[in-house]
Amino acid sequence: MVRVETGARLHFGFQNLSLAHERLYGGVGVALDEPRATVEATPAPTLDADPIVERAARRACGVLGVPGARVRLVEPLPRHVGLGSGTQHALATLAAVARAHDRPVRVRERAPALDRGGRSGVGVAAFEAGGFVVDAGHPAERFTTAPPPPGEWTVPAVAARHDVPDDWRFLLVLPVAESGKHGPDEDESMRSVIERADATIADDLAAVLTRRILPAVAEGDPDRFGAAVAAFGRLNGAWYADEQGGVYRPPAGDVVAALRGSPAVSGVGQSSWGPTVYGVTTATRAEAAEEAARATLEELGIEGEVRVVAARNEGALASDDSDA
């Protein structure tokens, strides 16, 4: 039996969604140590997989050329809330099945066969090595409003990666709300966004990324980093406003607005399609950040989960029975 453990990720946004520029997408995000997903797999003559990972397990068996496996999602990530569950579940399944059959994993090469990495490469990079990640995006002439057929694209290359300082923490607020966009609904929304995207926003995002975010993470400054990724997210939200009901989707927008004034967090935003709201803080301010988030939910009359987590500076971990 092989066990593969990976963490969630935050997605701060894309560098460009306009076809007027040479590169499309270009994700920016960070790997989290928690919450985590754990998948177990053993070789089997046919496929026997938990429903959430059955599709990924079937595709993994196909691409690996193995007859089957018994696959269990022992610890799931919250699904469709902006924490990257789809990619992390799928890649953990691929890695577990491959190792169970003593096959090379080659996650980056095989991710497209599992429909992962088609827009953002952050989830794949987070699974591989963790850390803060910027991916290079896709050529705009090939990735128009819809990606090329499967097998005709690769996961975006990692353009920049940094370890996150040990004392940084990320506040997570998960309001009870409808799931974030995923599957065909997400595809349709992304097509609409790209068709209408204002090209000038990408220029502003490039300035925020190169002049603010990258220097802040390289120098280990959480306050500058938080303010910068929050600005990056607000600019992205201008692209998505028509598709999600505002710069942030309800009720994430109310949570973001309420938390902005807290001295315990240096930047607040929405991860991916939400509804997860993140805040950048530190180990010494973690308790105060958590208290501020709980008070915010109570004041707004919103139920939800609050937690403060560290970043993850390593990739997924795998073990088998022989490691015990």
Domains of the chain in sequence order: 2-323 (3.30.70.890)
Task: Please report where in the chains the tokens 């460009």 appear, as a residue.
Answer: 16
With b for 16 or more beta-carbon neighbours within 10 A and e for fewer, the 114-127 pattern comes to bbbbbbbbbbbbbb
Residue 146 — φ and ψ, nearest 5°? Answer: -140, 145
DSSP code at position 78:
P
Q: Please give the pLDDT value at position 186.
A: 84
pTM equals 0.95
Reference 277, options 241, 315, 313, 226; nearest CA is: 226
Compute the distance between CA of residue 115 and CA of residue 155 in angstroms, rounded to an integer. 10
* 242 within 8 A of 192, measured Cβ to Cβ: yes
Reference 144, options 19, 243, 25; nearest CA is: 19
Q: Decide: helix, strand or coil at residue 120.
A: coil
Task: Please give the structure tokens belonging to residue 27.
Answer: 């994700």
Task: Please report where in the chains the tokens 């926003």 appear, as a residue.
Answer: 201
Task: Please give the structure tokens belonging to residue 144.
Answer: 């128009």
Reference 244, options 304, 188, 296; nearest CA is: 188
DSSP 35-75: EEEEEEEEE-SSEEE-HHHHHHHHHHHHHHT-S-EEEEEEE
Task: Please give the structure tokens belonging to residue 170.
Answer: 């990320």
Which bin fits 94, alpha (ψ -120 to 50), beta or left (φ > 0)? alpha
Compute the distance between CA of residue 57 and CA of residue 54 in angstroms, rounded to an integer. 5
Q: What is the CA radius of gyration of the chain?
A: 19
Compute the distance between CA of residue 163 and CA of residue 228 in angstroms, rounded to an integer. 17
Tell me the average confidence (pLDDT) per consecutive run of 10 residues in the chain, 324 residues long: 98 97 97 98 98 98 98 97 97 98 97 93 98 96 75 91 98 90 81 93 98 98 98 97 93 96 96 96 98 98 97 97 61
Q: Please give the pLDDT value at position 82.
A: 96
